[in-house]
A and B are shown apart, each in its own frame.
Chain A
Amino acid sequence: MKYRTRAFVLIAVVIALGGAGGYGAWAYARYLTQSRAPSEVSVAPSAAAGPVIFFRNTASGQGQGMVAAVPAHDPKAPRTLTSQACDRVDATAGRRICLRTRIGLDSTTEELILDADWHIVRTRTLAGLPSRARLSADGRFAASTVFVSGHAYSGSFSTATEISATDGESFGNLENYSITIPGTSLTPQERNVWGVTFAKDGDTFYATVGSSDRNWLVRGSVGQRTLTAIHAGVECPSLSPDGTRIAFKIKSSDPNQQQVRLLAVLDLKTDQVTTLGENRNVDDQAEWLDDASVLYGLARGAPIGDSDIWVLPADGAGKPSLFIEHAWSPSVVSGVRS
C-alpha cells in the first residue's frame, strides 16, 4: 500500500515535470530558431531620407523587439532596423526615449534617453512596467508612465508618471503635484496620473488623472507643479501638432462594454467631443500622423505580443486602415538629422 502510494506520486512527478520540462525545451528550441530566422517582414539595409516613423518591430525573426523605421510618406516600404530594443519608444529630431522591461524577481522598467544616433544620454530605473513614453517636441522634457502592480503581499495597483529633463533631473511623481478638480475631491486610489502629452511652449502638458470609473483631462504646468482638470472622461490624451485638439480614449457608451475604450477627439476651443470610426478596443496613446489623422496600435491576438499600427482620420469620418504591420508604439519624426 505504502509502496503503491509512493509509486503513484513518483509517476505524477515524472509525468508533470517531464511534460513541463519537455514543453520548456521545445519552447526554447523554437525561440532559438525563430530569433535566428530572417524577419517575417522585408527589411531594408539603410533608411531613406526625409521624415520617418519610428516604432517597435514586433515581426518574428531577427530584429524582433528592436526599434525600426519606415519613411512617413511610404509606411508599407521595407523597414530599417536599429539595434535598440524598446517596449515603448518616442522620438524627436535630436532625442529619443525608450522604455524597456527589465525582467527580474519583480520586473522594473529601464528608461533610456538617447541621442539622434541612438547613443545613450542617460538611463534610470523606474519601479513598474512600461506603459507610456513621450518627449516634448523640442526634446527637453521626457514623460514616462509605468504600471506599479501590487505583489500578492503588497496589495494595491496604480500607475506612476514622472516628467524629467532629458539632460538631467526628474521633477518627481506627478501625483504629488497640486491637483485641482472643480467640485470633486479625489480618493487616494484615484490619485493616479498617466499618459502625458506636451504642448510646444516648454511648460504646458496634458495628462489623465483618476481611475477607470472617473477620470479627467488635466492641463499641467512643469514649472508650477500643478494639474488642473479641464474635461471629464478622458484617458491617454495626445495633443495634435497644431495644438488645437486632443485625441484620447473614451469609455464605450454601451453599458455592456464598460471595459472597451474607443478613440475620440476633443476640440480644446469648442469643448466638443467627436468619437472616431474605430469600433475595436484601443489600448494605446494615439500619435498624430499629421493634423488630419492619428496612429495607434492594436494587438493581433496571436501570437501574444504581436500587433499592428492603424491609421484613422481625426474628424470622425472614415474608417481605420492598416498602416504598418507587425509594429507597435509609433512615433512620427518630421525633421530627422542623419
Chain B
Amino acid sequence: MYLSLSDWRGRKSETRATAPPFKLAPVILALGVTSLLTDISSESVAAVLPLYITASLGLSTIAYGFVDGIYQGISSSVRIAAGWTADRTGSQKWIAFAGYGLSALARMALLVADGFGSLAAVIAVDRVGKGIRTAPRDALIRFAAQPEHIGRSFGVHRMLDTVGAALGPVLAFVILLVIPNGYRVVFIASLAFAVIGVAVLGLFVPNERRRHPATAREPRPGWRDVNTPAMRRLLLVAGALGLLTVGDGFLYLVLQSRTSFAAEWFPLLYVGTNVAYLLLAIPMGRLADRWGRTRVFIAGHGALLAAYVSAVLPWAGLPATLATLALLGAFYAATDGVLAALAGLLSPQRAAASGIAAAQTVVAVARLISSTGFGLLWYAVGGAPALWIMAAGLVLVLPLAVLLLRAAQGAGVQTAAQSVP
C-alpha cells in the first residue's frame, strides 16, 4: 500500500508507525558509487573539452557549438528504447552495464580522436551510453529500495552522483594546473575512473530480476503498463512543469546582468547549485517519504518559482545570488530523484524501467523546448520580464498539477497494488 501516490494525504501516521528503519541496500550504495566514479569521469572531460577543442585541436567556434549540441541533445533519444529493452529482457543490470561500458569505451576512443569528425563521434557514443544506462539503473534502485524509503534511497544515489559531478572538474583543473597541456592525462584519469565505475557495477550489483524470475503467468511488459491513467497524469504534469523550467544557464545570465557578484563568479555559479543539490538530495528524499512524494515534487517546483522571483527581485547582490542558487539546488533535489521514484512506483515492476524512462524523456524534451522558447522570449522582451512570464506560468500550472496528481492517487493505488510481488 505504500507503493503509490497514496501518501498524498492521510496515511502519514499509519505509514510512520509501521515503517521499518531505513537501511541502505548495498546495491544502491554500489550504484551510487558507480555514478560517482562515472560522473568524475565525464565531468572532468566535459570541463576541459571546450579548452581542448578550441585551444589545442584548433577547431573553429562553430565546430565547438556543434559538438556541444551533440553533448546536450543525444541521450534522451535512446533512453526509452533502453528502458523498454531492460524490461523486456529483465536484465536491467546488464543494459545499464552496457551503457556505462559504452561510455568507458568512448573514453578510450577519446585518446585517439584527433579531428572534428572523430571527436563528435566519440561524444555521441558517450551520450548514447548515458541515455542507455539511466532508466535501467533507476529501476534497479527502485527494486532494491525499501518501499517506505524509496525517496531517501534515490536521494542517496543522487547525492553521490552530484559529488562526482563536483569532483570531476576539480580533478581536471588540478591536472592542467600541474601539467599545462596535460589533456591526455585528464583523459586517461577519466578512463581510469570510468573503468572502476564499470567494475563496481559489474561485480557488486546483482541482476535483481534474475533472482525473482517472472512467473509464467505474468504478462510480458508492454506500453499498456506505462499507459495507465495515473502514469498519464504524472507524465502530463511533469511535461507541463518541464515546459516552464528555464535552463540554469539562463537564470545565471539574469543574475549576471543584475548583480556584480554573480557577474564576477559567473563561471562558478553552477558549483553553488551543485553544492545545494548534493546537500539537499537526502533530506528532500526523506521528506518525500514522510510527507508525500507528489507533494515534494510539487514543492520542488515551488522552489523553482521562488528561484525565478529571487533572480528578478530588486534586492540584487550576494544574498540574491546565493538564495537563487540554493533554491535551484533545492528544486533539483526535490524533483530529480523523486520523479524517478514516482514513475517507478506508478509502473508495475515488470515495466519499471520503461516508466522511469518515459518520465525522464518527457521532462528532457519539455525542457529542451522550454530552453528554445525562453531564448526567443528573452530576445523579444528581455531577460527579467521573460522570467516573470515563466513564473506566472508556474503560478497558473502548479494548482492544476496538484489537482491532477490528487486525481491520480486513486488509480495509483490500484496499479501499484497489482504490482506488489
Residues of A participating in the B interface, judged by any CB pair closer than 8 Å: 5, 8-9, 12-13, 16-17, 19-20, 23-24, 27-28, 31, 65, 87, 101, 103-108, 127, 129-131, 147, 149-159, 187-189, 191, 194, 211-212, 259, 261, 283, 299, 301-302, 304-305, 307
Say if the beta carbon of B381 comes within 8 Å of chain A. no
Say if the beta carbon of B100 comes within 8 Å of chain A. no
A150 touches B249 (CB 8 A): yes
A20 touches B54 (CB 8 A): no
Say if the beta carbon of B60 comes within 8 Å of chain A. yes
Say if the beta carbon of B189 comes within 8 Å of chain A. yes
B65 touches A27 (CB 8 A): no
Q: Which of B57, B71, B181, B267 meets A299, CB within 8 Å? A: B57
A105 touches B252 (CB 8 A): no
**0/1 interface trace, chain B 286-316, chain A, CB 8 Å (1 if under):** 0000000000000000000000000000000
**Cβ contacts A to B, 27 pairs, < 8 Å:** A8-B203, A13-B196, A20-B188, A20-B189, A20-B192, A24-B175, A65-B180, A101-B51, A103-B173, A104-B173, A105-B268, A130-B55, A131-B61, A147-B50, A147-B61, A152-B71, A153-B248, A153-B274, A154-B248, A156-B249, A157-B65, A157-B68, A189-B375, A191-B379, A259-B62, A304-B56, A307-B58
A24 touches B72 (CB 8 A): no
A16 to B247, CA, bound (A): 36
B55 touches A87 (CB 8 A): yes
A102 to B169, CA, bound (A): 14
Residues of A within 8 A of B56 (CB): 304-305
Q: Which of A12, A23, A127, A211 meets B267, CB within 8 Å? A: A127
Say if the beta carbon of B170 comes within 8 Å of chain A. yes
Q: With A19-B192, A129-B50 in contact, do A155 and B72 touch (Cβ < 8 Å)?
A: yes
A103 touches B378 (CB 8 A): no
Say if the beta carbon of B323 comes within 8 Å of chain A. no
Query: Closest chain A residue to B375 by CB distance?
Result: A188
Query: Closest chain B residue to A282 by CB distance?
Result: B60
Q: With A31-B182, A212-B62, A283-B60 in contact, do A151 and B270 touch (Cβ < 8 Å)?
A: yes
A158 to B69, CA, bound (A): 12
Q: Which of A129, A157, A261 meets B55, CB within 8 Å? A: A129
A212 to B59, CA, bound (A): 13
B192 touches A16 (CB 8 A): yes
4 shortest A-B CB distances, which residue pairs?
Answer: A154-B249, A106-B267, A212-B62, A149-B50
A299 to B60, CA, bound (A): 12
Q: How far is the CB of B192 from chain A (nearest CB, A)?
A: 4
Residues of B within 8 A of A28 (CB): 178-179, 182, 185
Residues of A within 8 A of B273 (CB): 153
Residues of B within 8 A of A191 (CB): 379
Could you tell me which residues of chain B, from 166 to 215, have a CB within 8 Å of some CB in chain A? 169-170, 173, 175-185, 188-189, 191-193, 195-196, 199-200, 203-204
Q: Which of A24, A87, A301 has the most CB of B within 10 A?
A: A24
Chain B: interface secondary structure? helix
Query: Closest chain B residue to A103 by CB distance?
Result: B176
Residues of A within 8 A of B376 (CB): 187-188
Residues of B within 8 A of A305 (CB): 55-56, 181
Residues of A within 8 A of B144 (CB): none
Q: Which of A19, A24, A157, A301 meets B114, CB within 8 Å? A: A301
A150 to B266, CA, bound (A): 12
Q: How far is the CB of A266 from chain B (nearest CB, A)?
A: 19
A130 to B55, CA, bound (A): 8
Say if the beta carbon of B47 comes within 8 Å of chain A. yes
Query: Closest chain A residue to B378 by CB distance?
Result: A188
B181 touches A304 (CB 8 A): yes
Q: Which of B51, B250, B379 meets A107, CB within 8 Å? A: B51
**14 further interface pairs, Cβ-Cβ under 8 Å (given A104-B173, A104-B267):** A9-B199, A9-B204, A16-B195, A20-B188, A28-B179, A101-B55, A103-B51, A105-B170, A151-B46, A153-B273, A155-B72, A155-B247, A299-B58, A307-B58
Q: How far is the CB of A72 from chain B (nearest CB, A)?
A: 25
A13 to B198, CA, bound (A): 11
Query: Closest chain A residue to B267 by CB distance?
Result: A106
Q: How far is the CB of B112 from chain A (nearest CB, A)?
A: 12
A157 to B69, CA, bound (A): 8
